[in-house]
Structure 1
Amino acid sequence: MRIDNPPRHPTEQQAIEAYAPHVPLKVPWLKAEDLAPAAVFLASDLAAMVTGACYDVTAGADANNLS
């Protein structure tokens, strides 16, 4: 993501407006409650057979190399 003449100290709203359009799920950043389901799954018996896996919880930011 490239922003021409970015503000030195952007407001939260400016950051949202700059970043969210580039993320497929249109969220500016993830919160703990967004990450928790993945952590709970991996800590549960349901993930007993999961080994050596990488789970990206990025709201799609990795699709545009933003994370």
Structure 2
Amino acid sequence: MSRLIVIGGGWAGCSAALAAAKKGLAVTLIERTDRLLGSGLVGGIMRNNGRFTAAEELKLMGAGEFVDLTD
């Protein structure tokens, strides 16, 4: 089995890791902080007072599986 190491757990890194895992690669995601999604989380794009503020828009753009995994 092929292996992939993704460095950075922001939007791009998480998306790359998910896509690679769906293709059958063994993925290791390395993030320097204790949170995924970087500025998406910091800016309140994903969670605002405990709820997803942009979840419906993200799902319409094809990120439904990604949103579900990070919930």
TM over 0.5: no
Q: TM-score, normalised by structure 2?
A: 0.26
Larger relative contact order (CA 8 Å, sep ≥ 6): 1
User: Which structure has the larger Rg?
Assistant: 1
